[in-house]
Amino acid sequence: MKLDSLLTKATQYGEKTVAVAAAEDEEVLEAVAEAIKLNLASFLLFGDQVKIREIINRNHSAAAESPKLEILHAESPAYAAELAVRAVKEQKANVLMKGNIPTAGILKAVLNKEFGLRTGNVLSHVAVFEVPGFERFTIVTDAAMNIAPDLNQKAQILKNAVEIARSIGIEKPLAAPIAAVEVVNPAMQATLDASALTLMNQRGQIKDCLVDGPLALDNAISFEAAEHKGIKSEVAGQADILLVPTIEVGNTLYKSLVYFAKAKVGAVIAGAKAPIVLTSRADSAESKVYSLALAICSAK
Ligand SMILES: CCCC(=O)SCCNC(=O)CCNC(=O)[C@H](O)C(C)(C)COP(=O)(O)OP(=O)(O)OC[C@H]1O[C@@H](n2cnc3c(N)ncnc32)[C@H](O)[C@@H]1OP(=O)(O)O
């Protein structure tokens, strides 16, 4: 499947609004202008209004006059994050997007007890990849938020990924909890958690997906590798979701796919009251637009 299909899908959800925190950022505004051109959403831009206006007038004259764009001044990036988060909480916007503010800064606003977007669930990062040579999407979680999740957190991270998969048309995703080996080794916590998640799925504690693990990365995505090991599994060789054991594994896999495999990616933080787009400077403008499309598809 192609990430371009999400651009079409995202336009079919009626008018959605994205609140951008600290929007005074060249790359973020490039993605906003492109999203407006594609008719993906309307935008509330919180931040330094002089800088925002200057960037838009200089680089995006078509978007400058668009009724889909509103600029709301905030004295500091932290205050812009608070205002953007509040706009989502008050349902003036359906999606939150990070601008020129550190990741930890916006996540702290999202987790704020008074005005944040907590639901009681674990929030987690879900990345959807279009990998050259692979027909299906590959979903990696969690590459960017939860550092070393325990079993309970992994179960919730998986549920978040299943929701995202279903929002883009994968009705019953196949999920592989990834470890270094495909057998249970009591010395490797990832294999113990993977087998518990598999049983939780069989007992109906994790729904709307098929979980089988532990699987090593090769058995999860390659039929040949799985066959070579004699693994009998409905997930092996065709996993839609790769649930990684730690942020280091996920982050390295994410960056390997982008830099070595030239994969395209869109990603969101799921599990909050609304999806959150956390782009970084290193992301391409295309990737930022895919992330916006993914967030719009998964917004309630
Ligand atoms: C893949 C490309 C993009 C990247 O490379 S991004 C770079 C890598 N990512 C990162 O550096 C972020 C890694 N994560 C973190 O730094 C931290 O976990 C994070 C998200 C900032 C939260 O840290 P802190 O603000 O210090 O939070 P804390 O642990 O003190 O907890 C404060 C309250 O928030 C809650 N919380 C933290 N993480 C949560 C989660 N995932 N889901 C739901 N709730 C969560 C936590 O339970 C705590 O609640 P309470 O105050 O005890 O009620």
Atom 36, ligand 1: residue with shortest CA distance: 111
Is there a single domain that holds both residue 128 and residue 256?
yes
In the reported structure, the alpha carbon of residue 110 is separated from the centroid of ligand 1 by a whole-number distance in angstroms of: 10
Atom 48, ligand 1: residue with shortest CA distance: 111
In which band, very low, low, confident or very high, does the pLDDT at 159 lie, cut at 50, 70 and 90?
A: very high
Is there a single domain that holds both residue 185 and residue 220?
yes
Q: Closest by alpha carbon to 175, among 248, 254, 233?
A: 233
Domain span at residue 137 reads 124-260
Is there a single domain that holds both residue 132 and residue 236?
yes
Note whether residue 33 is domain-resident: yes
Is there a single domain that holds both residue 277 and residue 251?
no
Is there a single domain that holds both residue 186 and residue 276?
no
CATH number at residue 96: 3.40.50.10950
Note whether residue 252 is domain-resident: yes
Note whether residue 78 is domain-resident: yes
> What domain count does the chain have?
2
Is there a single domain that holds both residue 81 and residue 8?
yes
Q: Which of 85, 106, 111 to mutate to test the pocket of ligand 1 (most atoms within 8 A of CB)?
A: 111
Lowest model confidence (mean pLDDT) among 28-32, 62-66, 164-168: 62-66
Interval 112-152: pLDDT, tens:
999 999 999 999 999 999 999 999 999 999 999 999 999 99
Interval 182-202: pLDDT, tens:
999 999 999 999 999 999 999
Note whether residue 74 is domain-resident: yes
Q: Which of 145, 146, 265 to mutate to test the pocket of ligand 1 (most atoms within 8 A of CB)?
A: 145
In which band, very low, low, confident or very high, does the pLDDT at 214 lie, cut at 50, 70 and 90?
A: very high
Q: Any residues with CB less than 8 A from the CB of 66 and at least 6 apart, and which?
A: 36
Is a pLDDT exceeding 80 seen at residue 300? Answer: no
The answer to whether 53 touches 71, Cβ cutoff 8 Å, is: yes
The maximal CA–CA distance of the chain, rounded, in angstroms, is 63
CATH number at residue 219: 3.40.718.10
CA 283 to ligand 1: nearest atom: 2
Note whether residue 69 is domain-resident: yes
Q: Any residues with CB less than 8 A from the CB of 125 and at least 6 apart, and which?
A: 141, 142, 143, 144, 145, 146, 250, 267, 268, 269, 270, 278
Atom 33, ligand 1: residue with shortest CA distance: 111
The answer to whether 244 touches 140, Cβ cutoff 8 Å, is: yes
The answer to whether 37 touches 69, Cβ cutoff 8 Å, is: no
CA distance 85 to 200: 34
Structure tokens at 51: 């800088």
In the reported structure, the alpha carbon of residue 150 is separated from the centroid of ligand 1 by a whole-number distance in angstroms of: 14
* DSSP H helical ranges for 139-283: 151-167, 189-202, 217-221, 223-228, 247-259
Is there a single domain that holds both residue 88 and residue 214?
no
Specify the length of the chain in residues. 300
How would you list the strands of the sheet with 276-277, edge to edge?
Answer: 69-73, 42-47, 17-21, 95-98, 276-277, 264-270, 124-130, 138-141, 241-243, 174-177, 210-211
CA 250 to ligand 1: nearest atom: 1
153 — alpha (psi -120 to 50), left (phi > 0) or beta?
Answer: alpha
ipTM attached to this prediction = 0.95
Sign of CA dihedral 207, 210, 214, 215: negative
Structure tokens at 19: 């609140």
Is a pLDDT exceeding 90 seen at residue 19? Answer: yes
In the reported structure, the alpha carbon of residue 117 is separated from the centroid of ligand 1 by a whole-number distance in angstroms of: 13
Cis peptide before 142 (omega within 30 of 0): yes
pLDDT, residue 13, reads 81
**How would you classify the pairing of strands 138-141 and 124-130?**
antiparallel
Is there a single domain that holds both residue 95 and residue 160?
no
Burial 20-58 (b: 16+ CB within 10 A, else e): bbbbbbebbbbbbbbbbeeebbbbbbbbbeebbeebbee
